[in-house]
A and B are shown apart, each in its own frame.
Chain A
Amino acid sequence: MSLPGPDPLVVVPLVDAQEVQFWMEMAVGGVAASPETQRDTCRHLGRLRDLLQVLLTHMNNTSSTTEAMHRLPFLGQLLGRLCWTPHVTADAVCRRLLLESMWSLYSEEPSSPVEMKANHWIRSVLCQLSTEDEDPVTQILVQHATVPPKHYHLNVLRKLVSLLSEKMGRSCSSLSKPSQRCSCDTLLAVSETYIPLVTCPEAAPLIGAMLERTATCVRATLSQDFLDAVSAAYLRNGLCLEDEAVVSLWCHSLPSLEEAVMSQLDSLLSGSRPTLRITEQQLAGCLLPRACARHAPLFLIVNDIFRFLLQRVEGHQPLRSVVHSFTRCFLREVARLQPQERAPMKAFFPNTPRQLLQPLLVPPTEMPPEAWADHLTWIVQSLQRLTEEEEESDEDTGTRGQRVVFEAWLLLVQCAHWVEVAVQLLVSPGPGDREAGGVRELWSRSRTLLADPSPLATSEPLRSLAELLVSLGAKPRPLAPGLALGILVNAAVLSGEPIARATEVVCTVVRRCGLVTEEALCVLSSSADLLGLQGAEGRLSSGDPDRGQRLRTRALQEALTHADMMDTC
């Protein structure tokens, strides 16, 4: 059925004539089209969406249907054919554009026979497409069973989806009879035919079953167009997939994995500053660490993304915290796997110096605190050896050496728990021959400042601490600002001064010395973590030996957050 009009193939140069011709031929068979044509249609739905959008814009720019028909004489025939092509109308975007086009052609006050005929045509196409294909059995059952037509069609759709999904799982024979043909051989072609269904929420279980198939059968391959469509629908149009299916999608579609990582980072880094614990809670509920633990290739890609971002924004403490939290969640998920499911750690960190890997990956909580110092000394020596080797290496191997050092640094970011332990040990009272003179000096000046009762505006110790910070930052081997901050914050937590005073000192130093409040909060959040302070309901019982420290940590966190908010305002 088509609209009346002049010779349909005389295409005005408003749109690409070849494109129109292509779709005229493609949509000629409707439901009876050959499987190849159906697959071609599905593969090129993106092109069709573009064409329909262009046509719709032209239609909206004309003053009447008569004018639209005159300028786009092929319109009726093209729309008519496309409406009867289920692989086109099953795609949500094409369907919307087709219906909008029909609506656009519908005249409020038809003023000519052409417009009256067009209105009649549009109404009858809509009527046929929505109501008229029920066989007598369906009609009888709808009349007697209390299932209205809309529900009936939905039921049929769900049934077909469940039958086809079940069959998808049942019919694979690649494991039992590897030499025979397996039904999964046809999955590539099937997946092309199903491209429009990714926009249909009811079809989600079938899409999921197809994705999962690729994880269990080597013969099962999905078309790239299908994977792209699924990925777009999953990320943007709320396609609901089971976890296994999503992991399978990530394994087969790099853009989809990248987008998942980036959107996770966005949600963690935007908005209010997350504490280490909140970040970890968010990540623990997310599928990525679990998927990475099971699939080393996924972890490698996620790690590559982190590596790239860390290189771009080197000093970004919140990003480092996220990388650290992610690694902790990942390690926890690895530990949960059965030993036979676990890949060796080398598969996850192929370029990391072997001697560092295990010592850094082990969490401090799995070791008695008395052993921390020795463990750290061992790590420091290994790191030192690595950097020395890098400095000694000749030009040819220099790049390689740098890469090794970079990988070691990255692992240190990922396993930042040991850096925190190191800071804690540096400032803890007790015997210890800590080498870093600057660090000790910083520690003692911080303590002096905290104990000094004079007003901060005129405080001599404050001036001297600020000077030290500047000189430490300018040395040939400058002290990392994060470490300086860590020492100051820890001094405040451990000092016996009133909380208000400690807070005032930390805020002033942070502001005067151009340190970043956000980083101070990260340090606090890590020490809170080491102290086992859990959220707002942390254990603050009076019998707790660390109670004072916990209270001060929390007070400092609150004060700094408040001060930062005031600054931002």
Chain B
Amino acid sequence: MEGVLNNLKNTAELLAVAQTDVVKQWDKQTLDRAFQWTLYCQHLHSRFYSNKAIRTIMERQLQATNESLRATFPGYADIAFVDLSRCQHVLLTKLLKNPALPKAIVGILCGSLSPMEMNDNEQQDATGHCNQLIACKSACRVLRAMHRKTTAFPSGDAEVQGMMLMERLDAAFGGGGGGGEEEARELLESMLHTCEEEDNVIEVIASALTRNNTTTAEIASHGFLLKWLQQNEQMLLKLCLHVPVEYIMRQVGENMQFRAVYCDVLRRWASDMTFDIHEGEWVPTGTMAGGSFEKLTCHFRALFETCPLQREDMETELKARKTSDGDFDVKGLSVWGDLLAVLTT
């Protein structure tokens, strides 16, 4: 362990040095070794991410190193354990922001590789690092534009992100340590916290839900994600608003618990509507902005189609709510009555 901590400290120091004039002395060998060390740290991250004990020791080591480096190098940015997963990226960024970067190093980073070398993902040295990243991202941009033209949901990125999320959850539940729930919750909360304003979080979660699950860990991940969604009503509301109905129905059809929560969301959605006398229609208020009356009826219809048994219960419920609203057959007095009218015609 001591060796690992030492290496961690050395790599953090290397990253600090990469933003100084010292890089003027770097040659190809130095650069390659720097890329190898950062790759090593990426491996450390993947190996010990779920190991609470070792991770804490490593975090403590990084803290100590950060403190001493902050004192030595002005403008030094701390390295956290989670940054280790993108260690090569951090190194590359630091080098490219350094005015002292020698021409030879720029040449190596931009260098071309043969297609064979390009296919080697675990390529360790720095040759063509920028070239490969630019190649990959440019191709993604060309394809993304084409994909978006024909498919609204989900985007290719959201599918990959959904897979990544599920794989992380699988790793958390597959560890056997029993700490899976805590780790999974931590990840989802931090994602929600950082990206609250991002609509694509919803897309990521929706794609994550559509995965086929077979192993115990996969089933546990899927179950946890649904449970977590049920506890985050806001998230669930957004899901109904932004994700195509057929994606939601897949979950509604398969999972009783989810169905119950989904019905609650629909009730909440309906009860938040007010009748706009000028426009002559029901309009959403509060958190359901954007969720029109038509959209709501779409969801009800889809629900009835997916679960015919639910139809009877729901219609009885709507009738009861209409009655309690005075049982008038006039549009605009009871949202339940108007829903019932639309759904039974």
Contacts and interface: CB of A to CB of B under 8 A. Distances in A.
A147 interface: yes
B82 A144 contact: yes
B135 A92 contact: yes
A37 to B, nearest CB: 12
A462 B79 CA distance: 92
A159 B156 contact: yes
B297 to A, nearest CB: 29
Nearest to A100: B110
A145 B156 contact: no
B194 A141 contact: no
A164 B146 contact: yes
B112 to A, nearest CB: 5
B278 interface: no
Contact of A141 (B89, B103, B151, B168): B168
A89 B130 contact: no
A409 interface: no
A513 interface: no
Interface in B134-148: 134-147
**Chain B interface category by residue count:** 35 or more
B202 to A, nearest CB: 10
A135 B85 CA distance: 16
Contact of A160 (B97, B107, B119, B156): B156
Given A153-B137, A203-B139, A141 B165 contact: yes
A163 B159 CA distance: 10
A38 B146 CA distance: 11
Given A99-B131, A142-B85, A160-B156, A127 B97 contact: yes
Contacts of A107: 103
A138 interface: yes
A102 B110 CA distance: 9
Residue among A129, A130, A135, A194 having the largest count of chain B Cβ atoms under 10 Å: A130
A384 interface: no
Nearest to A86: B141
Nearest to B167: A145
Interface in B7-49: 42, 45-46, 49
Interface in A119-158: 119-120, 122-124, 126-127, 129-131, 133, 135-157
Contact of A200 (B92, B139, B200): B139
A538 to B, nearest CB: 38
B161 A138 contact: yes
27 contacts: A86-B142, A99-B110, A103-B106, A124-B96, A124-B97, A126-B106, A126-B110, A130-B92, A130-B96, A131-B96, A135-B198, A136-B195, A137-B195, A141-B165, A143-B82, A144-B49, A144-B82, A146-B49, A147-B164, A148-B87, A149-B133, A151-B121, A154-B136, A160-B143, A196-B138, A197-B142, A238-B115
Given A126-B106, A143-B85, A144-B85, 14 more contacts: A89-B135, A123-B96, A130-B96, A131-B92, A137-B161, A137-B200, A139-B194, A144-B168, A150-B89, A155-B163, A160-B143, A193-B146, A196-B138, A206-B143
